[in-house]
Amino acid sequence: MIGIATLSVAISIVATLVAALVAVPGAVWIVHGRSRLRGALLALFTAGLGLPPVAVGLAVAFTFWRSGPLGAIDLLYTPFAMALAQTIIVVPLVGTLAVVALRAADTTLPMQLTGLGITGRRRFALLMREVSPGLAAALLAGFGRAIAEVGAAQMTGGNIEGQTRVLTTATMLAVGRGAFDQAFSYVAILLGIMLVAAGVAMTLQRRWA
């Protein structure tokens, strides 16, 4: 039970962080960049909000089936495949929320920083600090979506005991077996994890604000 919960949390954290590494710079580029392709990326993020997880799960599973295009690397039914699917599901959510947070912030800040001669890494860090409460909310939402995922987790992980069984797929199996008490305890753990995650996000928001 502890192993299942740990794996759920670990996969979801990895998926959220990798998604943030892609989505947050993307969001900064959308809000403060100058390229014409910014609109396209924003459209991609926004449309991606409605991306059905089962579609992502099927696409990732298909890619990694032994008979699929990347079958040779034998990655299906591993936590990696699950994290990859969750990352794809979470990127649009984190990206869109980060765009909202950046837009709500002082829009003259980038110009002020440029005026003060602050560039590069330092400028990026200051920008991030300005929108950190919004970013914390975006990460929490991403984590919540990742850990709650069932369909994609089942298809890409296969619900293998001790390897890819996570809280959501374990709950489905427990219900399927008629072990409702077990199902309820999995769900209770899931809710507990989300409460802790929300607490962490709120603490971060308060400290950063």
Partner 1 sequence: MLQRLFLCGLLILGLTVSPVLAQQPSVILATTTSTQDTGLLDVLIPAFEKASGFEVKTIAIGTGAALAMGERGDADVLLVHAPSSEAAYMAKGRGLSRALVMHNSFIVVGPASDSAHVKGAATAQDAFASIARTQAPFISRGDDSGTNVKELALWKAAGVSPAGNWYIKTGSGMADTLHVASQKSAYTLTDDGTYLSQRATLALVPLVEDAKDLRNIYHVIVVKPLAGHVSDQPGGEAFAKFVTSEAGQGIIAGYGRERFGRPLFVPDAGKGP
Dist. CA 45–CA 132, nearest whole Å: 20
| Of the residues 2, 36, 69, 121, which one makes contact with partner 1 according to CB under 8 A | 121
Dist. CA 176–CA 188, nearest whole Å: 18
Shortest Cβ distance from residue 80 to partner 1 (Å)?
5
For partner 1, the closer of residues 2 and 72 by Cβ is 72
* Selected range binding partner 1 among 38-46, 132-140, 145-153, 173-181, rule: CB under 8 A: 173-181
DSSP secondary structure of 55-82: HHHHHHHHHHSTTSTTGGG--TTSHHHH
Does residue 208 bind partner 1 (CB under 8 A)? no
Structure tokens at 5: 């919960």
Q: How many residues of this chain interact with partner 1, rule: CB under 8 A?
A: 39
| Of the residues 84, 85, 89, 147, which one makes contact with partner 1 according to CB under 8 A | 84
Cα dihedral 56/47/12/194 (nearest 10) = -130
Does residue 184 bind partner 1 (CB under 8 A)? no
